[in-house]
Structure 1
Amino acid sequence: MGDFNHPDNCWGDSAAERKQSRKFRECVNDNFLLQEIEKPTRRGAMQDLILTDKEGLVGDVKLKGSLGCSDHKMVEFKMLRATRRACSKLTTLDFRRADFCLFRDLLGRIPWDKALEGRGAQDSWLIFKGHLLQPQEGCIPKQKKSSKNTKRPPWMNKELLGKVKHKKEA
């Protein structure tokens, strides 16, 4: 939280005049951060922000008078914490049970020359992605991951963990 000095950022309608403010807004969005203050904090602008990565982490946000001779309003809020740990609902593709023959066959039926003809890189990517995801849904089943297994990335196996621990000890 703090004074971010982007007075032209309008958080309600995602607008900003200056390039620097737009880049800041883009950075906030790219990192899936939520802005918790809803009213202007300085001269009609929302310059003081509370950014969080979890919905419901901050609550009871109140703007109070100025402290001393500052022209910023004081911000009071509560940090909320969950009473119990949430279970992960992560699903991943189960490649062990995938039907790759059908997947290959479905992708082979697509007339790629016609589908991508005259398209730019971005359009071609979106078309390719759409054609790839559709057969993926039917050919590669999904599996739920338990919260125990989601604490570490899937590529982090026992051997790699041992090497990492050994490096830390050295």
Structure 2
Amino acid sequence: MGDFNHGHIQWTSLQSTGREDQEFLNLVQDSFLSQHVLEATRGENVLDIVLSSQNEFVDNVKICEPLGCSDHNQIHFIIKVKGERNRKIRYRKIFHKGRYKDMREYLAKIDWNNTLKNKTATECWNILKSEIDCVVDKFVPLKKQGKRSKKKHLSKEAIRKIKYKQMMWKTYRHTGSEEDYSIYKEALNQATAEIRNSKRSYEQKIAFNIKHDSKSFYAYVRCKQKVLDKVGPLEGSDGNIITEGFLRQKT
């Protein structure tokens, strides 16, 4: 899939008027590839195409509205592949619902003096870590992870205008009239402006509340990072690669 910029190819009749376009068409045919986009993706031209080695691999191709300020339409399609689905259920701990009083009582009953007696620092750490993991598993409830929630920076008004913009695009694609296209462009501009205002308001809100809710602020900053900070494996003094978290910290 991509923008191949060969707008003079008629994919329904497999004909072309330009030399470079004809060479590309010959290449596609000689490679026994199928081209699945038959509607215009920019203006009246088919510039963005989807190629596959077997025609039945791609299904339900839809030409949708442009994304943002792009002048190319989106292409939605389904790739048919066979494979086993491994739907692993994921859980996360709900720490704000933890029974911390019970945790303290549980840990207070442990005879730490005898438990840690004559132990090295590493052994003490492993024992402490094991007990903390135990009480967390025992007293902090789990919740099944669901689908991602909607973007928090989008207000209800922004979502409403996005849906209206999408509806106007479908209307224009159905009628093809200049009037409906003008209505769509106006809806696009309004939706873009509302998204920008909604995002600015949300960022100002979490910035002003950073003293009372720093978690939301830093979570938003992290989600905007293109590269997540992560400590990679280190080489120990013996030349071996260290991947375990505690040993890396110690190194």
| Shorter-chain TM-score range | 0.3 to 0.5
Task: Please report the TM-score for the alignment, with normalisation by the length of structure 2.
Answer: 0.32
Give the helix-richer structure, 1 or 2: 2
Task: Please report the TM-score for the alignment, with normalisation by the length of structure 1.
Answer: 0.47
Instruction: Determine which structure has greater relative contact order: mean sequence separation of CA pairs < 8 Å that are 6+ residues apart, divided by chain length.
Output: 1
Structure with higher Rg: it is: 2
